[in-house]
Chains A and B, each alone.
Chain A
Amino acid sequence: MTTLLRISNVSKEYKMDGVVFQALDNVSLSIKKGEFVAIMGPSGSGKSTLMHIIGCLDRPTSGKVYIEEHDIFTADDAELAEIRNTHIGFVFQQFNLLRKTSAISNVELPLVYAKVSPKERKERARAMLIEVGLSEKMGNFPSQLSGGQQQRVAIARALVTKPSIILADEPTGNLDSKSGRDIMTIFQNLHDKGSTIVLVTHDEDVAHHAKRVVRIADGKIISDGKPSKRT
């Protein structure tokens, strides 16, 4: 299958108070179309940095990153914004919905930056909200929605641009277990329909939904394979 994401020999260094901190150390990884990958690791392991690089929010210090044909290393900020807009669908732990903005307007947001006409925006956002089961809540503000519903709005927002990769950062971290399971079911369904999903988590149960688990520690990939059996 087509390789969507190719990371080769990527290192990322941060300078904090004059001390160089190696967040990623010569990491290589490729993700194919349709894969459901979980990236796991303790905090400080570099998994967030890896996620930022996959999500085109950050550039590596050295190494190559390609999303489809786009070279992330040489892209400027405006080009990165466009790549994020068309290729990446973000789902955050904190939902990150705009307050005092209706669910449907929140879903429309990426399409606004994709220069889609208002009419088409509305139609596509509506379709996405129906798909995540929120047809009744389109006009509600985030404050009028439960955590699980808010996260579903966020998923609809991530899907609305038909991105190459859905990048979810601890999507169940702020939810109760029931809502968390519902959200994971949605991801499962999306994967069954052929979406490429990258899930960043430290929760083994959540990672178990994925078909491939990449474990990272001290900035290095320590294992890459099928999820371990549940105990």
Chain B
Amino acid sequence: MNFAEYTKLAFNALRTNKVRSLLTMLGIIIGVSSVILLVSIGTGLQNYVTEQFASLGSNTIMVMAGDVDVSQGPRGAMMSASKFEISDASDLESGSDAIKQASPMVQGFGTFSYDGNTVSTEVWGLWENYFDLAKYEPEYGRIITQNDVERSRRVIVLGNKPSTDLFGEGVNPVGKKLTLNDIQFEIVGVIKSKGGGGAMGSADDFTAIPLTTAMRQFNQDRPFMIFVEANGPDDVAQAQQDAERILARRLKDDEFTVLESTQLLETITQFLNVITAALGGIAGISLLVGGIGIMNIMLVSVTERTREIGLRKAVGATPRDILMQFLIESVILSLFGGAIGIGLGALGALGINQFVTTSVTLWSVLLSFGFSAAIGIIFGVAPAIRAARLDPIEALRYE
């Protein structure tokens, strides 16, 4: 007997017991669709986080003061006293082909009031190139210019959040004045919102003034960190190495840490990978239960069809013929269940997509399809072997 004959035979048998076949498949359908669904949620979460990081600039390298541990996050750097010089930024830019630009930053804190509204937020002292480096664009007005930095102008650019909190949404505050430590600053621009923010804190909650102005204002003579942008994603590793080499000429090993933003991303991605795997694993258990359901029904089916097996053997079916007949039956059950499950899971993921980002991945589809085929074989083998081993005489006598 060839494969086509076995398949035809199996389909006929399954058609004869439509309701039972469907109920047996249900276990696999639920298992596979929940694997697809849960993995799509996990993957969607990962994609979301990755996108958020990409919006902050994936080519960005952060040079921090002191010996920073990645797991503590970038804010750990604020604890150490900085040994950086402004010239370090220029040295970085000129010292490596992999580095596009470097931007030193001074950080302070400010409380601003306008018309009864008060906000407290970070005040960043920046070079004009920071906005290009971190991909900030003005919504109203302009960003800080080289001229502002050179002349230590008292101008301030607002992030979207303090602007909204102080002046309301959709209001252009350019030209208005804010007071920082008794000194008046003129608002020259508002930065377009990046939304979200997540792990790094909101990307919209800050204000920015020229670096030179900030150093005077906060009485700091050293930048507390330097942002470095590599020429492209492929240059990040080289840029990181070069930055370490250039800074090591002047600074001790524990006086600075060069951190790739992807390193932080990796830590988070690893964590999300574990969550995705755990979700998939839990769903996998229901797939296993579905497989046991198939085995159960196939065992019942073998018992029920004992006489049929006996007759088939009497008219010339070999043990292998009988084995294949039952094995292919259970494989068809699990494969059909798997296919329906994938369809339902993808449909469910599409539905949930309106509330949580989901992403149906090829690997989860292939994995659960392969897994359900494997389940059909593994859990079909025992009943099929039992059928193949039946003694034809006993089987024909079976009532």
> CB-defined interface of A189-204 with B at 8 Å, one 1/0 digit per residue?
0000000000000000
**Residues on the A chain within 8 Å of B319, using CB:** 77-78, 81
Contact: A112 with B314, CB < 8 Å? Answer: no
**Residues on the B chain within 8 Å of A100, using CB:** 16
In the bound complex, what is the Cα–Cα distance between A64 and B311 (angstroms)?
A: 25
Contact: A90 with B314, CB < 8 Å? Answer: yes
- Judge if A85 is at the interface, Cβ distance under 8 Å: yes
Nearest CB of B to A102, in Å: 11
Contact: B316 with A52, CB < 8 Å? Answer: no
**Residues on the B chain within 8 Å of A94, using CB:** 307
CB contacts under 8 Å to B, within A53-84, are: 55, 57-58, 77-78, 81-82, 84
Known contacts A90-B315, A157-B315; is-contact A112 B308 (Cβ 8 Å): no
- Judge if B242 is at the interface, Cβ distance under 8 Å: no
In the bound complex, what is the Cα–Cα distance between A114 and B1 (angstroms)?
A: 8
In the bound complex, what is the Cα–Cα distance between A85 and B314 (angstroms)?
A: 8
CB contacts under 8 Å to B, within A83-109, are: 84-86, 90, 92, 94, 96, 98, 100-101, 109
Contact: A92 with B320, CB < 8 Å? Answer: no
Nearest CB of A to B313, in Å: 7
Q: How many residues of A contact B (CB 8 A)?
A: 26
- Judge if B321 is at the interface, Cβ distance under 8 Å: yes
Contact partner, A109, options B2, B307, B315, Cβ 8 Å? B315
Nearest CB of B to A168, in Å: 13
In the bound complex, what is the Cα–Cα distance between A37 and B393 (angstroms)?
A: 22
**Residues on the B chain within 8 Å of A81, using CB:** 313, 316-319, 321
* CB-nearest residue of chain B to A101: B12
- Judge if A171 is at the interface, Cβ distance under 8 Å: no
CB contacts under 8 Å to B, within A22-60, are: 52, 55, 57-58
Known contacts A96-B307, A98-B308, A115-B1; is-contact A110 B393 (Cβ 8 Å): no
**Residues on the A chain within 8 Å of B307, using CB:** 94, 96
Contact partner, B316, options A58, A84, A92, A96, Cβ 8 Å? A84
In the bound complex, what is the Cα–Cα distance between A101 and B152 (angstroms)?
A: 95
In the bound complex, what is the Cα–Cα distance between A110 and B316 (angstroms)?
A: 6
Known contacts A96-B307, A96-B311, A98-B308; is-contact A113 B392 (Cβ 8 Å): no
Contact: A112 with B1, CB < 8 Å? Answer: yes
In the bound complex, what is the Cα–Cα distance between A52 and B393 (angstroms)?
A: 8
* CB-nearest residue of chain B to A114: B316
- Judge if B5 is at the interface, Cβ distance under 8 Å: yes
Contact: B316 with A113, CB < 8 Å? Answer: yes
**Residues on the A chain within 8 Å of B1, using CB:** 112-113, 115
> CB-defined interface of A106-147 with B at 8 Å, one 1/0 digit per residue?
000110111100000000000000000000000000000000
**Residues on the B chain within 8 Å of A114, using CB:** 316
Contact: A112 with B318, CB < 8 Å? Answer: no
Contact: B5 with A112, CB < 8 Å? Answer: yes
**Residues on the A chain within 8 Å of B378, using CB:** none
> CB-defined interface of B3-14 with A at 8 Å, one 1/0 digit per residue?
001000000100
> CB-defined interface of B279-319 with A at 8 Å, one 1/0 digit per residue?
00000000000000000000000000001101111111111
Nearest CB of B to A38, in Å: 21
* CB-nearest residue of chain B to A85: B316
CB contacts under 8 Å to A, within B3-42, are: 5, 12, 16
- Judge if B396 is at the interface, Cβ distance under 8 Å: yes
Nearest CB of B to A91, in Å: 10
Contact: B393 with A85, CB < 8 Å? Answer: no
* CB-nearest residue of chain A to B317: A113
* CB-nearest residue of chain B to A95: B311
In the bound complex, what is the Cα–Cα distance between A129 and B289 (angstroms)?
A: 47
* CB-nearest residue of chain A to B4: A118
**Residues on the B chain within 8 Å of A98, using CB:** 308, 311
Q: List 27 A-B contacts (CB under 8 A).
A: A57-B313, A57-B314, A57-B393, A58-B393, A77-B318, A78-B320, A81-B317, A81-B318, A81-B319, A82-B316, A84-B313, A84-B315, A84-B316, A85-B315, A86-B316, A90-B314, A92-B311, A94-B307, A96-B396, A98-B308, A109-B315, A110-B316, A112-B1, A113-B317, A115-B1, A157-B315, A161-B316
Interchain residue pairs A-B with the least CB separation, the first 5:
A85-B316, A113-B316, A110-B315, A81-B318, A78-B318
Footprint of B on A, CB under 8 Å? Answer: 52, 55, 57-58, 77-78, 81-82, 84-86, 90, 92, 94, 96, 98, 100-101, 109-110, 112-115, 157, 161
